[in-house]
Structure 1
Amino acid sequence: MEVAASARACLVADVGGTNARVGWTLDGQSVQDVVVLRCNDNASLAHILGSYVERMARSHPGMALREAVVAIAGYLQGDRLVNANLPWEVSVARTADAARLESLVLINDFGAVAHAIPGVQRQTLVPLLPGQRDPGMQVPALVLGPGTGLGAALCLDRTGAEVLLTESGHAALAAGNPLELAVLQDLATRWHHVDNERVLSGTGMMHLYESLARMKGETPLHRRAEQLVAAADAGDATARQTLDVFSGWLGSLVADLVLTLGAREVYLAGGVTAHIAPFLHAGPFQQRYAARFGSPRVPPPVWRIDHGHLGLIGAAIHWRSRTSCSVRSIEEHA
């Protein structure tokens, strides 16, 4: 894309605990030149943003990226981002200085996904409930995703302008049967507060697997979530049990959040969701989710969606909606 010398563009990024996606937008709708980087391979958020600014200056001489909106997990305490899953500390002011940005805004990563949901093509959504019908987008809509952590937000209107942020991943994990209670008791010997993402996330899945293996007197054989999923596909009994328990437990949590927040439909995103799709469709998720809704109430529809670039698009929409970008603007919630 040719960029006029006077064009005002914005760098947008979606930074998770594992990967960072970076691009730029001119219209606040589409995102160009997206690159995916591993967070652990970079010394800081400033390094990621600054390197991209330099790269675009070389490839698009007419464009000067001076503003940035970054969708990132966690929340702000003053100038500092609080996020236990990132490999580096983040100061908004120091990051803006180091990346040579005039304006840097941090927004919640799942808040960004919620901003983008109304623009998703309905035919790309995969239904998770048997016989589920599509009445069109219903609000409020819950957007939830297990990745390195567990994110959740609520889209409040059909334009995506109004979003409610949550810290549901850090709420206490609730057991729904004796096996889950045993897992919870086991994990409580390691952490004084066992929150939802201790089990219902990519890293949490491994905690669940290790706990189930200990209960069986087995030595855990797998160290990473992708290995665990492959082993479950290959017939490893404990690995398969882990994915079934994970899916059922996730179904209960999603139902509890729907009831608590008054959501009328659910979108499951996040990196883990795509990797375990066959297990999410296998039954435990649906059974545990539907069990929360007594007759004659119909459980709100649940859609599986490829996270893809939704966080980037949400960051772009946020930039477009701002009437002006002030230097080093810091939002209340990141």
Structure 2
Amino acid sequence: MSQLHALAADVGGTNARMAWVEVDSKGRSAPVVISAQTYRCADFAGLDQVVARFIQDHPGQPQALALACAGLRHEREIINGNLPWRVHLDALEQVAGGAPLHLSNDFEALARATRWLAEGAGQLLHGPAHGRAAPVVVIGPGTGLGAALRVPYPGGEIVVPTEGGRPGFAPGSAEESALLELLRAHSEHAGHVDTETLLSGPGLLRIYRGLGQLQGLTASAETPEAVSQGSEAGTDALARAAVESFWGALASVCGNSVLGLGAYGGVLLAGGILPRLLHAFDADRFAARFAAKGVMRPVLEQVPVRLIEHGQLGIVGAAMAISEA
């Protein structure tokens, strides 16, 4: 039988997206999403309960369970500081009726699914319309900062998951250095401030509050959404400065990722928050920060950066692991 009826899940720090998916066991075509629903992780005591709720809401029996989840597998658990609970694999397999489990990192799955994107999909933010035949890095700020590398080779490709949000943040301006010192003073990890501390939804709020402290201004917004809304509406100058600072830091991290991973085929930006910040995107400033890497500037000027719609790519990429097992 070439088609498998699978339950696929894309689990991030805030939401768990569940779907029934038809998967070509030979991997000759993209998995097809039949029905899907999104649940808030904080509303449940564990991922097994989310899966059970989805099966209750959309009855069926999976032939396979494909899970894309933020975090790192440790024995029979997945550990992630951004999830409200640990993921226990035994409980997941039990609620799925013993169906075989195929596990992916969430950005590994997202990067895998970009194979099916049309050439030139998304919005070009920097560089030429088409990149060279080389690895592509997929980066996305959300509850945290995810990243994965898609590496082509003759006749196929592999996807390498990374913990791209965990290395220490490298400031690229005096303002970012000052922000880093503020955050370092309150670090719970012996002064270590990782990149996703700034480049994430919660990170945007930290930038906003940090700039307020540095400039002696009142930071009245209480959520990342309120920061982006105040920036877009033009009612909060501090919020606008925070969003612009976010884009600058993201550009610098993208450039570092290209050089550090050899991703000269391009950068694909995903994640839920970037579309809400596009009102403050400035192509010239982004290009300047992205390419500001000394003698490597001419190389980075020819690396495309695109913003893609996350949508159901995580679910599709999770399901693709079934045919690649």
Query: SS at 2:226's partner residue?
Result: helix
Deviation at 1:150, TM superposition (A): 0.1
For the pair 1:149 / 2:136, whether they are aligned, the reply is no
Mapped contact 1:30–1:316 kept (Cα < 8 A): no
Q: Deviations over 1:87-130 (max 9, x none)?
A: 1221111232244343223210000011011211234321002x
Q: Match for residue 43 of structure 1? A: 45
Report the Cα offset of residue 284 of structure 1. 2.9
- Choose 212-221 or 145-154, whichever is displaced more: 212-221
Distance in 2, matches of 1:161 and 1:91, equals: 30
2:320 to 286, 293, 317: 317
Q: 1:60 — aligned with what?
A: none
Which among 52, 55, 75 is matched to residue 54 of structure 2?
52
- The alpha-carbon deviation at position 51 of structure 1 amounts to 1.8
Kindly provide the CA deviation profile for residues 279-324 of structure 1, in whole angstroms up to 9, marking residues without a partner as x. Answer: 23454322200222645433311011011111011011111222xx
**What letter matches 1:182 in structure 2?**
A
Task: Go from structure 1 to structure 2 and tell me whether the alpha carbon gap of 1:241 and 1:167 turns closer, same or farther (over 3 Å shift).
Answer: same
One-letter identity of the residue aligned with 2:6: C
Corresponding residue of 1:327:
none
Native 8 Å contact 1:13 1:315 kept in 2: yes
Query: 5 Å matches for 1:221-300?
Result: 221-235=220-234, 236-264=236-264, 265-281=266-282, 283-292=284-293, 294=295, 296-297=298-299, 298-300=301-303
Q: In the alignment, is residue 174 of structure 1 matched against residue 170 of structure 2?
A: yes
**1:7 deviation in Å?**
6.9
Runs of at least 5 residues in structure 1 that lack an aligned partner in the other structure: 58-62, 323-334
Deviation at 1:72, TM superposition (A): 0.8
What is the rounded CA distance, in whole Å, between the counterparts of 1:56 and 1:31 in structure 2? 13
Amino acid at match of 1:180: E
Q: What is the deviation of 1:209?
A: 0.9
Q: After superposition, what is the alpha-carbon deviation per residue over 1:44-76, rounded to whole angstroms, capped at 9, x for unaligned?
A: 10011112223333xxxxx52142111110001
Contact persistence 2:61–2:96 (CA under 8 A): no
| CA distance in structure 1 between the partners assigned to 2:294 and 2:17 by the alignment | 38
Identity percentage of aligned residues: 35
Larger mean CA deviation between 132-141 and 264-273 belongs to 132-141
CA–CA distance in structure 2, aligned partners of residues 186 and 55 of structure 1: 46
The verdict on how the C-alpha distance between 1:110 and 1:7 changes in structure 2, with shifts beyond 3 A counting, is: closer
Judged with a 3 Å threshold, the aligned counterparts in structure 2 of structure 1 residues 217 and 244 are, in CA distance, closer, same or farther, namely: same
SS in structure 2 at match of 1:162: strand
Q: Secondary structure at the match of 1:22?
A: strand
- Equivalent residue number for residue 72 of structure 2: 75
Whole-Å separation in 1 of the counterparts to 2:64 and 2:115: 25
**What is aligned with 2:181?**
185
TM-score, length basis structure 2: 0.89
- Counterpart for residue 28 of structure 2: none
Letter in 2 for 1:266: V
The answer to whether the 8 Å contact 2:128/2:302 transfers is no
Contact 1:13 1:71 in 2 (8 A): yes
Provide the C-alpha distance between the structure 2 equivalents of 1:7 and 1:251, rounded to a whole number of angstroms: 41
Partner of 1:332: none
- Amino acid paired to 2:241: Q
Deviation at 1:9, TM superposition (A): 1.0
User: For the structure 1 residues 293 and 266, does the alpha-carbon distance in structure 2 shift closer, same or farther, using more than 3 Å as the test?
Assistant: farther
SS of the aligned residue for 2:87 comes to: coil
Structure 1 distance, partners of 2:247, 2:285, is: 6
Q: Secondary structure at the match of 2:143?
A: coil
Could you say which residue in structure 2 is the equivalent of 1:118?
115
Are the counterparts in 1 of residues 4 and 23 from structure 2 also a CA contact under 8 Å? no
- In the TM superposition, residue 136 of structure 1 has moved relative to its aligned partner by 6.1
**What displacement does 1:134 show?**
2.5
1:7–1:303 Cα change, 3 Å: closer
Per the alignment, in what secondary structure is the counterpart of residue 128 of structure 1?
strand
2:219–2:238 contact (8 Å) kept in structure 1: no
Q: Specify the alignment match of 1:21 in structure 2.
A: 17
Deviation at 1:189, TM superposition (A): 0.8
Deviation of the 1:139 alpha carbon: 2.7
| 2:27 corresponding residue in structure 1 | none
* Among 25, 32, 35, the residue aligned to 1:33: 35
Contact 1:243/1:279 (8 A) holds in 2: yes
User: Helix, strand or coil: the match of 1:184?
Assistant: helix
